[in-house]
Homo-oligomer: A and B are copies of this chain.
């Protein structure tokens, strides 16, 4: 393979195994496949077969013979006679639609032979989609087990009903907060024809279990507003069909002001009868063209987008308007809660952007239709390197919710710096909100296990573009992979996910894969250690959000401040003396966040304004922590580079150089952050570094 096509294959099978013994061990499963299913040409079942046969060929060079029989979605790999001996329970267990079971049987069960071979495998899906997920699971097994198959009984169903990706692609071909080139979907205000890139993306998403995608930016501009008009709906249908082949339901981001922009109405008031009628007819038209459409994603009354506030209505009125229109067709409204005052006066320290989502939405609980889902960003601010969990999540027992993450590394290195976000997401998912007693973790709420949600799950902003390797930085692929894996099963450990991706990408058990796994796991703490400290956030160049600018947002309208002066830093969000934001949490968390002594170090400055001399739980003062961690972070990146250089012969040259150049860029960025942050705080505090390192007074 050229490394170029290797980049575009991402973690899917691409390289032939070099070890003949490994092929031998799998061979009994790979030469004969019996498929029991109805083979619809455009269905996920057909894709499952295609992926399995193609994957086997890629990895081993073998070309399985294929027998097709009627029946429930089920595949037998290897001898059907042996498989027939398999236990009836396994074959007849009732499965959820997206679930699969996979039994791999070894010829020599005690495994004492020098080269144990597989005997047969049975893969059943709860549906064609379940089968597809099972095929990808099997291919992942093949790619991640170094020595060959092992006797296995695997039964899996996704924990989150909705596992969604949001594209922020614009029809002019740009991608908002995109760091990987242009859109694979649009150019020059047209939807592009079917392409290897679009199909390839659908394959990648399905391979990690994603089952929904919204294909245009939540900021819906003039051209994208037209996606729901008769001139574009045939192209929308074409796109939806591609995703449909991989079991992915497509959504559109809708413009709340569409009745004005498209309908010629003079209002978009959600209680106006003409407006309701317009949306009803529009939904009828849309679903006539695209019957399987998932529904709408809506960003309303947010960052200057239109919304119900214009008409003195609330968000329940706004969301229900669309929900009622979509309901007859089974459509869903994903209503984003990223609503805050983006014209804040920095002089006013009583207003707190962190409070906004909760203050706007909490009291509307119970007012939303059943086919509305509130989409809530993981933190109360905006995808910073470190934030507490949004207190709104789980706080509305009668309202469907999904948590929204950002795979695109807007504030976390922009796919120029490595920042593997799985550990960050797990921190949110594992967070216990205590909103329905202990154990009310975010992941349980998202899975619909805490409140009686009818629709729920997780969504995330995509990080891909038309760069050959999809994600700009090759290692940023791990975040897309990792989001899908976590969305499927939030209990998966970060190291398992990192190891899977590294093995699938750099070869199982290779020195490169091992180092990359280690680097990925270190990368989020490292990125945090040279950027904004202790949960205070931002300190980035306005608009760009990559390079350091400590005061970049300090006197802006965006509500994102650190309040550093010559004696201290941080935002007082306590109930006692601050903005009262802490009061939005359940008592168990409230008590911890309210107290500077109890508050976790990494969130201290998010919740408290403290002197530079405040002593952290770590035993260090705040100022010394700032100095130490900036120095350590930048040093760590240098050590990565040194180690990566040693691995030159272990990775294909183009990919080696690509990663080296990115790491070198990251080292520059880390040094600039280190020196600017340290100098800024030294000039402001006057407190020298205990270890007398260079501070550029």
Residues of A within 8 A of B (CB): 346-347, 541-542, 548-552, 555, 564-567, 672, 675-676, 679-680, 682-686, 696-697
Beta-carbon contact of A552 and B549 below 8 Å: yes
Nearest-CB residue, chain B, relative to A682: B565
Indicate if the CB atoms of B548 and A549 lie closer than 8 Å. no
CA distance A354 to B549 in the complex (A): 24
Report whether A565 and B675 are in contact in the complex, using a CB–CB cutoff of 8 Å.
Answer: no
Cα A503 to Cα B596 in complex, Å, equals 66
Chain B residues, CB < 8 A from A542: 541
Q: Would you mind naming 9 contact pairs between A and B with Cβ atoms under 8 Å apart?
A: A347-B696, A549-B551, A549-B552, A555-B675, A555-B680, A564-B683, A566-B566, A566-B686, A567-B686
A347-B675, A549-B551, A555-B680 given; name 9 further pairs at CB < 8 Å: A541-B542, A548-B555, A549-B552, A551-B551, A555-B676, A555-B679, A565-B683, A565-B697, A567-B686
* A566 and B347 form a contact (CB under 8 A): no
Within the complex, the shortest CB–CB distance from A501 to chain B, in Å, comes to 35
Q: Which 10 A-B pairs have the closest CB atoms?
A: A565-B683, A555-B676, A551-B551, A347-B696, A566-B686, A566-B566, A684-B684, A566-B684, A347-B675, A566-B683
Cross-chain contact A685 with B347 (CB below 8 angstroms): no
User: Shortest distance in angstroms between A456's beta carbon and chain B's nearest beta carbon?
Assistant: 42
- Could you tell me the distance in whole angstroms from the C-beta of A349 to the nearest C-beta in chain B? 8
User: Nearest-CB distance from A143 to chain B (Å)?
Assistant: 45
Q: Cβ of A550: which chain B residues have Cβ within 8 Å of it?
A: 551
When chains A and B are docked, how far (Å) is the Cα of A551 from the Cα of B679? 12
**A548 to chain B: closest CB distance in Å?**
7
Q: How far is the CA of A542 from the CA of B549 in the complex (A)?
A: 11
Q: How far is the CB of A551 from chain B (nearest CB, A)?
A: 5
Decide if B685 touches A566 in the complex (CB within 8 Å).
yes
Distance from A562 Cβ to chain B, minimum over Cβ atoms (Å)? 11
Of chain B, the residue at the smallest CB distance from A541 is B542
Distance to closest chain B CB from A161 (angstroms)? 45
Instruction: Tell me how far the C-beta of A65 lies from the nearest C-beta in chain B, rounded to whole angstroms.
Output: 59
Give A687's nearest chain B residue, CB to CB.
B566
Contacts of A346 in B (CB 8 A): 696
User: How distant is A686 from chain B, measured CB to nearest CB, in Å?
Assistant: 5
A697 to B561 alpha-carbon distance, docked (Å): 13
Choice from B566, B567, B672 contacting A555 with Cβ under 8 Å: B672
Complex Cα spacing A74 to B261, Å: 64
The smallest beta-carbon distance between A538 and chain B, in angstroms, is 13
